Amino acid sequence: MTKLGAFAIGVAVGGVAVAIVKTAGFKKVCSKVVSAGMQLKDEAASFVETIKEDAEDIKAEAAYNKNAATQANA
């Protein structure tokens, strides 16, 4: 294959790609993918926040139990 042939194929593929990107169906698919990604991000952030709250509760309970045990031994 010559350089000119490779260039011609590249131009043809680029033209087809531009045509596909401009279609309404492609835009709908992209919109759905982005929406799903944003929803996944929000769910992950909510999950992380729940884990943080649970860890803080466990830490506070452990500190309370340690304090209660110290006062009982005094």
Closest CA to 28 of 17, 36, 18: 36
Task: Quote the domain boundaries for residue 29.
Answer: 3-73
pLDDT score of 72: 76
pLDDT score of 31: 92
pLDDT score of 32: 94
pLDDT score of 15: 92
Question: pTM for the full model?
Answer: 0.59
Whole-number Å distance between alpha carbons of 37 and 47: 15
Domain count, the chain: 1
pLDDT in tens, the chain (74 residues): 788 889 999 999 999 998 988 898 989 999 999 999 999 999 999 999 999 999 999 999 999 998 888 887 76
